[in-house]
Amino acid sequence: MTADRVRFGLRRVLIATTVSVAVLGAMATPAAADPSVDELESQIEDQASDLEGVVEDYNAINEDLKDTKDKIEALEKKLAPYEEKLGKLYDESEPMVTTAYETHPFTGTLAVINAGSPDQFTQRMTALNGVTATDSDLIKKINKAKKSFADDKAVLDELKSEQSAQEEELESKKDKIEADIDRLQKDRKDVYRDEAAQRGQSVDYVPEYVPGDAGVVVRHAMDQIGDPYVWASAGPDSYDCSGLILDAYRQVGISLPHQASQQYNMGTHISRDALQPGDAVFYNGLQHVGLYIGGGYVVHAPTFGDQVKVQKLEEAATPYYGATRYL
C-alpha cells in the first residue's frame, strides 16, 4: 500500500469518527426543559421589580414635566401685560404714522414705517418725533422683558422636549414589561394546571401570581389542594376550614387563632367589593371561612369527607357573612 493511500484511509477514518462523535453529541444533548411554576414565579417577581422602578421613574419625570409646563405658563402670563401695552402703543402710533406718510409720501418715511421689529419700531417713531421719552423708555423695557422671556422660554421648551421624550421612553418600557408579565402569568397558569393534572388534580381556577406576603399566603393555601378535611387539623397534610387560614398566614409570621369567629375579629373588616387576594371570607354566621384568591374564587377546606379545593366565592358556602384583611 502506498503512503498516499494510507494517508487517505486515515483521513476517512478521522472524518467518520468526527461525524459520529458530533451526531452522538447532538443526540446526547437534552432538550431544554419547560420552566416550572417556581421558575416562572421568580421571573414574574423580577419583572415586577423592574416595573416598579420604571413606574417610579415615570412618575418622577411626569412630575418634572408638569413643573416645566407650569413654569412656561407662568412665564407667558408674566409677559402678557407687556405685549398688551406694546399693542396699545402700536395702535396709538398709527394715526401719526399715517399722517407722516400722507405728508411725505416720497421721502424716507416709508422705510422708517415699515421697520419690523420692536427695536426698529422705537427707532422709527423717534425718527418721526411721535414718541415721548416715557413711551420710548417703556418700549425699551418691553423689548428687554420680551428678550428675557424668549431666552427663558427657549431653555424651558428644550427641557420640556427632553422630558417628554424620557416620558415616552419610560411609557414604552412600562408597556413592554407589563406585556412580559401578562405572558408569564399565562405560562404559569398553564404549567400549574399541567402539574396539577400530573398529580391527578383538576383546578378550575388558577389565580394570578401575586407578589409579596399576600401572594405567599395564597400560594401556600393553593399548594394544599387535594389534602383531606380533618376536624381540628391545621396541616401539614390535612385541614379544617380555619386551620387552612391559620397555616397559610403562619407562612408570613402572622399568628391567628384556630377558630373562624375569632379570626374574623383579628383584622380589618372590608366590604365584598373591596376583596383582594389573601383576604379571609366568612360564611354561615362565622361557621365557615375560606381564603379569597382573586377572580371571584376562594380556596377552602369545605367539610367532612371533602378536601381542600377552589370554588367560586358564592358557591363555597352560604350565606356570605363578611371578610377580614390581615395584611
pLDDT at res. 294: 95
Average pLDDT, rounded, for the chain: 78
User: In the annotation, is 220 catalytic?
Assistant: no
The three grid cell numbers given for residue 22, joined into one nine-digit string: 458530533
Name the more confident of 126 and 285.
Answer: 285
pLDDT at 225 over 80: yes
**CA-based nearest residue to 136, from 147, 146, 145, 124:** 124
Confidence tier at 61 by pLDDT (50, 70, 90):
confident
β-bridge partners, 228: 307
Neighbours of 125 (CB within 10 A): 25
Burial-class residue 267 by CB neighbours within 10 Å (0-12, 13-18, 19+). Answer: middle
* Dist. CA 263–CA 274, nearest whole Å: 19
Share of the chain above pLDDT 90, in %: 35
Gyration radius (Cα) of the chain, Å = 39
Counting Cα atoms < 13 Å in the Cβ hemisphere of 311 gives: 17
DSSP for 153-201 reads: HHHHHHHHHHHHHHHHHHHHHHHHHHHHHHHHHHHHHHHHHHHHHHTT-
Residue 262 confidence (pLDDT) above 80: yes
Cell of 97: 404714522
104, 220, 241, 258: which is the annotated catalytic residue? 241
Q: Residue 216 burial (CB < 10 Å; 0-12/13-18/19+)?
A: middle
List the grid coordinates of 291. 381564603
Cell numbers for 73, please give them: 405658563
* CATH 1.10.287 domain residues, the chain: 37-185
Q: Is the pTM of this model over 0.85?
A: no
The Cα-based distances of 218 to 18, 38, 211, 212, 277 in angstroms read: 54, 14, 10, 10, 7
Question: Which of 104, 220, 269, 300 is labelled catalytic?
Answer: 300
Residue that is written with C-alpha cell 415586577 in the block: 48
Q: Give 75-107 pLDDT, tens digit per residue.
A: 778 777 766 766 666 666 566 555 555 555 544
**DSSP state at residue 285:** G
Residue 47 — φ and ψ, nearest 5°?
Answer: -65, -40
CATH number of 212-325: 3.90.1720.10
Q: Which of 104, 220, 269, 288 is catalytic?
A: 288
Residue 85 has a CB neighbour count (10 Å cut-off) of 16
Q: In what order do the strands lie in the sheet with 288-294?
A: 268-270, 320-325, 280-283, 288-294, 297-300, 309-312
* 37-185 topology per CATH: Helix Hairpins (1.10.287)
Looking at residue 144, its amino acid is K
- Catalytic residue status for 258: no
8 Å CB contact between 230 and 242: no
- Cα separation, 224 vs 245, whole angstroms: 11
pLDDT number for residue 142: 66
pLDDT above 80: residue 64? yes
269 annotated active-site: no
User: What is residue 119's three-state secondary structure?
Assistant: helix
Cell 367560586: give the residue: 312
The residues, any chain, with a CB within 8 Å of residue 215's CB and separated by 6 or more, are 209, 277, 278
Handedness of CA 23, 29, 30, 34 (dihedral sign): negative
pLDDT digits (tens, 9 = 90+) for 158-167: 888 888 888 8
- Contact between 289 and 241 under an 8 Å Cβ cutoff? The reply is yes
With cut-offs at 50, 70 and 90, classify the pLDDT of residue 157: confident
Residues of the chain with CATH 3.90.1720.10: 212-325
pLDDT above 80: residue 24: no
